[in-house]
Amino acid sequence: MRSSAVDKGLRTGVVFGIVIVTMFLIGFTVTGAGLVGKIFGVQSSYSTPPLVFFSIFMILVGAWAGVTASPRPLLEADTWNRALLAGGSSGAVSGLFSAIIGFLFGELNSNRIDPRTYLPSVSPESIKMFLFDQTPFIGSLLMFALMTGSGLAAAALSFYLRNNGAVRSSLRKASESVWDSIRSERVSNIIQNKYTRYASLLAFAAILIILPRTWGGYWNYVFGTVGIYIILGLGLNIITGWAGQLVIGYVAFFAVGAYTFALLTAPEPHHLMMNFWVALGLGVLAAAISGLLIGLPILNLRGDYLAIVTLGFAEIIRILLKSDLMTPYTAGPRGIRDIAGPTILGKSFISDVDFMYLIIIAVLVVTFLANRLQNSRTGKAWYAINLDETVARATGINAFASKLLALSLSAAVAGLAGVLFASRNQFTGPDDHALMVSINVICLVIVGGIGNIPGIFLGAFALKGLPEILRETENYRLLIFGVLLIVMMRLRPEGFLPAKRPELEKASVQNPLGKEA
Amino acid sequence: MSTCIETKQVSKIFGGLTAVNSVDVVVPENIIASIIGPNGAGKTTLFNCISGYYIPEHGQIEFYGMPIQGQPTYRVAALGIARTYQNIRLFGDMTAIENVMVGQYPRFKAGWVDAVLSTRREREEEKQAIEEGRRLLKFVGLEGLGDNLARNLPYGAQRRLEIARALANKPRLLLLDEPTAGMNPQETGKMTHFIRNLRDELGITILLIEHDMRVVMDISDQITVLDYGTKIAEGKPKSIQSNQRVIEAYLGPDVTSLTKKYQLRKKQRYDAKS
Q: Domain containing B187 — which CATH number?
A: 3.40.50.300
Does A148 have pLDDT greater than 70? yes
Whether residues B66 and B175 share a domain: the answer is yes
Whether residues B103 and B135 share a domain: the answer is yes
Which of B116, B137, B146 lies closest to A373 in CB terms? B116
| The predicted structure's pLDDT at residue A145 | 94
Whether B113 maps to a domain, the answer reads yes
Pick A183 or B189 by higher pLDDT.
B189
CA distance to partner chain B, nearest, from residue A448 (Å):
18
Whether B235 maps to a domain, the answer reads yes
Which of A394, A398, A399 lies closest to B83 in CB terms? A394
CA distance to partner chain A, nearest, from residue B95 (Å):
7
In order of A81, A313, B37, B124, the CA distances from B247 in angstroms are 74, 60, 10, 55
Whether B178 maps to a domain, the answer reads yes
Which of B101, B111, B123 lies closest to A378 in CB terms? B111
| The predicted structure's pLDDT at residue A513 | 44
- Please give the residue range of the domain that contains residue B58: 3-80+171-241
Which of B91, B105, B110 lies closest to A388 in CB terms? B91
Does A496 have pLDDT greater than 50? yes
Judged by average pLDDT, the poorest of A154-168, A225-239, B184-198 is A154-168
B118 lies within 8 A of chain A by CB: yes
The percentage of chain A sitting over the pLDDT mark of 70, rounded to a whole number, equals 95
Residue of B nearest to A409 (CA): B112
- Residues of B within 8 A of A513 (CB-CB) are 126
Subunit contact A381:B105, Cβ cutoff 8 A = yes
Count the Cβ atoms, other than its own, within 10 Å of residue A423. 25
| The predicted structure's pLDDT at residue B255 | 59
Residues 195-214 of B with CB under 8 A from A: none
For chain B, the domain total comes to 2
- Residues of B within 8 A of A405 (CB-CB) are 112
Subunit contact A395:B102, Cβ cutoff 8 A = yes
Which of A383, A502, A512 lies closest to B127 in CB terms? A512
Subunit contact A395:B108, Cβ cutoff 8 A = no
What number is the average pLDDT over the span A105-131?
Answer: 86
Mean pLDDT, chain B, integer = 91
Q: What is the pLDDT of residues A58-86, one digit of tens each?
A: 999 999 998 888 877 766 677 888 888 88
Subunit contact A398:B125, Cβ cutoff 8 A = no
A115 CA to centre of own chain: 34
Whether residues B188 and B233 share a domain: the answer is yes
Where on the phi/psi map is residue B81: left (φ > 0), alpha (ψ -120 to 50), or beta?
beta
Whether B129 maps to a domain, the answer reads yes
Q: What is the pLDDT of residues A348-401, one digit of tens each?
A: 888 888 899 999 999 999 999 999 999 899 999 999 999 999 999 999 999 999
Q: Which of A114-123, B21-30, B237-246 has the highest mean pLDDT?
A: B21-30
Does A321 have pLDDT greater than 70? yes
Pick B166 or A487 by higher pLDDT.
B166
Query: At A152, is the pLDDT very low, low, confident or very high (cuts 50, 70, 90)?
Result: very high
Assign A76 to helix, strand or coil.
coil
Subunit contact A377:B78, Cβ cutoff 8 A = no
Count the Cβ atoms, other than its own, within 10 Å of residue A484. 15
Whether residues B24 and B134 share a domain: the answer is no
A288 lies within 8 A of chain B by CB: no
**A162 in Cβ contact with A73 (< 8 Å):** yes
CA distance to partner chain B, nearest, from residue A304 (Å):
20
B124 lies within 8 A of chain A by CB: no
B38 lies within 8 A of chain A by CB: no
| The predicted structure's pLDDT at residue A2 | 56
What number is the average pLDDT over the span A188-205?
Answer: 80
Assign A348 to helix, strand or coil.
strand
Domain ranges of chain A: 2-169, 223-491
| The predicted structure's pLDDT at residue A255 | 96
Whole-prediction pTM: 0.81
Whether residues B60 and B123 share a domain: the answer is no
Mind giving me the DSSP string for chain B? --EEEEEEEEEEEETTEEEEEEEEEEEETT-EEEEE-STTSSHHHHHHHHTTSS--SEEEEEETTEE-TT--HHHHHHHTEEE--SS----TTSBHHHHHHHHTGGG----HHHHHHT-HHHHHHHHHHHHHHHHHHHHTT-TT-TTSBGGGS-HHHHHHHHHHHHHTT--SEEEEESTTTT--HHHHHHHHHHHHHIIIII--EEEEE---HHHHHHH-SEEEEEETTEEEEEE-HHHHHT-HHHHHHHH-SS-SSHHHHHHHHHHHHHHHH-
| The predicted structure's pLDDT at residue B165 | 96
What number is the average pLDDT over the span A474-491?
Answer: 81
What is the maximum alpha-carbon separation in chain B? 85
B37 lies within 8 A of chain A by CB: no
- Residues of A within 8 A of B125 (CB-CB) are 377
Query: At A515, is the pLDDT very low, low, confident or very high (cuts 50, 70, 90)?
Result: very low
Whether B166 maps to a domain, the answer reads no
Residues 131-150 of B with CB under 8 A from A: 131, 133-134, 137, 144, 146-147, 149
Query: At A146, is the pLDDT very low, low, confident or very high (cuts 50, 70, 90)?
Result: very high
Q: What is the pLDDT of residues B41-96, one digit of tens each?
A: 999 999 999 999 999 999 999 999 999 998 999 999 999 999 999 999 999 999 99
**A339 in Cβ contact with A433 (< 8 Å):** no
What is the maximum alpha-carbon separation in chain A? 81
List of residues 6+ apart from A409 with CB closer than 8 A = A235, A238, A239, A288, A291, A373, B112
CA-to-CA distance for A427 and A336, rounded, in angstroms?
6
Per the document, the length of chain B is 274
Pick A189 or A175 by higher pLDDT.
A175
Task: Determine which of A505, A508, A511 to mutate to test the interface with B (most B C-beta atoms within 10 Å).
Answer: A505
Query: At A261, is the pLDDT very low, low, confident or very high (cuts 50, 70, 90)?
Result: very high
Does B256 have pLDDT greater than 50? yes
A292 lies within 8 A of chain B by CB: no
B91 lies within 8 A of chain A by CB: yes
Q: What is the pLDDT of residues B150-205, one digit of tens each?
A: 999 999 899 999 999 999 999 999 999 999 988 899 989 999 999 999 999 999 99
| The predicted structure's pLDDT at residue B261 | 62
Cis amide bond preceding A493, omega within 30: no
Whether residues B7 and B115 share a domain: the answer is no
Does B259 have pLDDT greater than 70? no
Does B262 have pLDDT greater than 80? no
Whether residues B201 and B226 share a domain: the answer is yes
A186 lies within 8 A of chain B by CB: no
List of residues 6+ apart from B145 with CB closer than 8 A = B96, B137, B153, B157
**B110 in Cβ contact with B81 (< 8 Å):** no
Mind giving me the DSSP string for B134-155? HHHHHHTT-TT-TTSBGGGS-H
| The predicted structure's pLDDT at residue A494 | 82
Query: At A109, is the pLDDT very low, low, confident or very high (cuts 50, 70, 90)?
Result: confident
| The predicted structure's pLDDT at residue A516 | 38
- Strand segments, DSSP code E, in A450-514 are none
